[in-house]
Amino acid sequence: MHKLTLYTLLALLTLLSSCSGKKHAQKEEVVIPQGMFDLQFGDLFLKGCEQRMKGNLIEAIKLFEECKRYYPNEPALQYELAMVHQLLGHKKEALDYAKKAVAADSNNEWYLQLLAACYGLNGQHAQATKVKEQLVQKWPARTDLREDLAEHYISLNQRDKALTIYKQLQNEFGPKESIMMNQIKLLAELNRFNEAEDALKLLVKNNPNELQYLSYLAAFYEDRLAYDKAKAVYEQLLQRDPENVVALLAMHDYYLALSQTAQAESYLEKVFACKDLDQNIAMQILSTYVGQAHSGNTHAAELGLKLAEQYAKAQPQSAIGHGIKGDLYSISGKKEEAADAYARAAAHETRDFRVWENLLSADNDTRRFDSLIVHGVRATELFPTHTVFYLYLGSGLVQKKRYKEAIEALETGKSYISGNNETKFEFYRLLGDAYNYQKQYASSDLAFDDALKIQPDNTYILNNYAYYLALRGEKLALAERLSKHSLQLQPNEANFLDTYAWVLYKSGKFLEAEEYISKAAAKSPSPAVLEHWGDILFKLNNKEAAVAKWKAAKVAGNKSEALEKKINEQKLPE
């Protein structure tokens, strides 16, 4: 047998100490296997421990099996083999090795703990119980072992035995919270409610500065439907802690159950004035009022607005209060107020994209296009792959005639779309307009073509695409077909009648053009329609009537230099 040097032995002991399984709060005694003083055995054993800790369980078993050649009855070896087989789910093998470890050393706590666990895995609960009882008998001063045995009894539905342990611990160590709460729970399960109540009162009495015990007592009364007793405890709790959210909500529920709505709501208002009100609770409650407001409950809308305002004051850095205000204003049709509320919410929110989506929608609805652009840029910075924000930004830029920037935003946003045809359509629609005004006509036409592939009956695209082509004098057959289709869908729309007349005019079909422009004027004699009518009449050699229509267009509000020139020169420009 080889002897180890002092330094090698110290190193081995250090490694071995890390091979233990379950840890305990008390200092664990390192048990050195007899074979550790044999170099071959020690090397294999430590390598097995190392492989087990790395999760290489099959390799660990191979190494431990090799150890058997040297010391087959070594209890530490049996323990390690039991542990590895347990981890692999080999229940029978794990139990066999655990039994051997305990048979060799029945005073080792870890061997006994593993044996109890292995009995449990094999469904032999009576034997597992005996081992746990043996642990308590060997170390009666260890409260953790006694509590563990109590939990084991509970799992086996032996509540009376568990209760006996908890009472013994209480008598020895006083009303410790973990022990008392387990005891109270057991008493309630055993329908020994008077004892449970007394135990809770004792916990409150012995811990006067721990207000949560008052909450436990009140909740106990609520569970027993003793609402008046619960109310008295909550009132006592509120005297000590006026902003106790649990107590305030309980009082709200108490008065609501009695149909004393005003009193109940007064407590709810106090809840939302609390600075430490949890955001999830606030959101859950406020959302119910938003839902009721959607259903037309005006009182719920008013109360929800009041609560949201209180929450916004109590927690000004939270987006929730302002966001809910925005929702409620929006439901009631107060779009300007909704936009303001959403703006304040977004100022405190950088993670929830829904807040920003509501803000951009409100900016768009109120035609605050400058704000829409500012907020849209910020939204795309915060959520760079969220397509709808580019759509809103592009729309605002188009409205402000910043077409080059609009194209850049819309093309970027379009690249993030995946399979949503409705969203694609909106991008194509805006791109068609933006490219047209940038005089990038090929790109404009392509965008409109793509839009019509998705919605072939969209009258906005049909009309605008046709009108742009007519203005350019290009693809007039296509323009006529598009415009005619829009009229088939909406035959009485003045704008569509005007476009169709203008397409016919550009195609040289002046008589037909005059027929449709007169219909458009009958529906809506706008300055543009009247000017177009004059142009058509001039082409029909009715100069006097043409000048009269041009003058009528000027009176209606058309102040363009081109129209003034037509009137003065009494002819169309060359």
CB-based contact 567:535 (threshold 8 Å): no
Read off the DSSP letter of residue 553: H
Highest mean pLDDT among 123-127, 187-191, 553-557: 553-557
- The rounded distance, in Å, linking the Cα atoms of 354 and 239 is 40
SS (H, E, C) 160-211: HHHHHHHHHHHHHHCCCHHHHHHHHHHHHHCCCHHHHHHHHHHHHHHCCCCC
What average pLDDT does this structure show over 163-184?
72
Beta strands in 70-143 (DSSP E): none
**Residue 43 structure tokens:** 């090397």
pLDDT at 47 over 70: yes
What average pLDDT does this structure show over 415-440?
94
CB-based contact 461:451 (threshold 8 Å): yes
The per-residue DSSP string of 291-316 comes to HHHHTT-HHHHHHHHHHHHHHHHHST
- The rounded distance, in Å, linking the Cα atoms of 128 and 114 is 10
pLDDT at 8 over 50: no
CB-based contact 229:221 (threshold 8 Å): yes
CB-based contact 416:391 (threshold 8 Å): no
CA 379 to chain centre: 18
Closest to 289 measured CA to CA, from 259, 316, 265: 265
pLDDT at 79 over 60: yes
Out of 59-73, 197-211, 396-410, 496-510, least confident range: 197-211
CB-based contact 47:19 (threshold 8 Å): no
- The rounded distance, in Å, linking the Cα atoms of 25 and 143 is 11
Buried b (16+ CB within 10 A) or exposed e, 19-49: bbbeeeeeeeeebebebbebeebbebbbbbb
CB-based contact 459:490 (threshold 8 Å): yes
pLDDT of residue 23: 38
pLDDT of residue 258: 86
* pLDDT confidence bin for 25, thresholds 50/70/90: very low
* pLDDT confidence bin for 4, thresholds 50/70/90: very low
The one-letter code for the residue type at 137 is: Q
Out of 19-33, 273-287, 482-496, least confident range: 19-33
CB-based contact 428:454 (threshold 8 Å): yes
Q: Can you say whether the dihedral through the CA atoms of 35, 36, 38, 44 is positive or negative?
A: positive
SS (H, E, C) 436-495: HHCCCHHHHHHHHHHHHHHCCCCHHHHHHHHHHHHHHCCCHHHHHHHHHHHHHHCCCCHH
pLDDT of residue 171: 75
3-state secondary structure of 297: coil
Read off the DSSP letter of residue 303: H
Closest to 396 measured CA to CA, from 418, 420, 413: 413
What average pLDDT does this structure show over 168-172?
76
Return the percentage of the chain with pLDDT > 90, whole number: 60
What's the CA dihedral at 296, 298, 299, 301 to 10 degrees? Answer: 90
CB-based contact 169:176 (threshold 8 Å): yes
- The rounded distance, in Å, linking the Cα atoms of 88 and 227 is 52
The one-letter code for the residue type at 300 is: A
CB-based contact 311:289 (threshold 8 Å): no
What average pLDDT does this structure show over 270-280?
89
Distant-in-sequence, close-in-space partners of 313: CB < 8 Å, separation ≥ 6: 273, 321
- The rounded distance, in Å, linking the Cα atoms of 513 and 498 is 9
- The rounded distance, in Å, linking the Cα atoms of 309 and 443 is 49
pLDDT at 525 over 80: yes
Cα–Cα separations (whole angstroms), residue 330 to 301, 355, 372:
11, 13, 17
What average pLDDT does this structure show over 514-519?
96
Distant-in-sequence, close-in-space partners of 301: CB < 8 Å, separation ≥ 6: 289, 292, 293, 328, 331, 332
**Residue 22 structure tokens:** 């379950």
Q: In the chain, how long is the greatest CA-to-CA distance?
A: 129
pLDDT at 469 over 90: yes
Closest to 458 measured CA to CA, from 485, 432, 436, 493: 485
pLDDT of residue 34: 54
- The rounded distance, in Å, linking the Cα atoms of 443 and 430 is 12
342-371 pLDDT, tens digit each: 999 999 999 999 999 999 999 999 999 999
**Residue 120 structure tokens:** 């449990």
pLDDT of residue 177: 67
* pLDDT confidence bin for 35, thresholds 50/70/90: low
* pLDDT confidence bin for 24, thresholds 50/70/90: very low
> Mean of the per-residue pLDDT values for the chain?
87
> For tokens 């909550």, what's the residue?
234
Residue 156 vs residue 108, higher pLDDT: 108
Domains of the chain from N-terminus onward: 1-17+32-139 (1.25.40.10), 367-456 (1.25.40.10)
Nearest-10 crossing angle of helices 298-314, 261-272: 30
- The rounded distance, in Å, linking the Cα atoms of 184 and 203 is 10
H/E element holding 230? helix 227-240
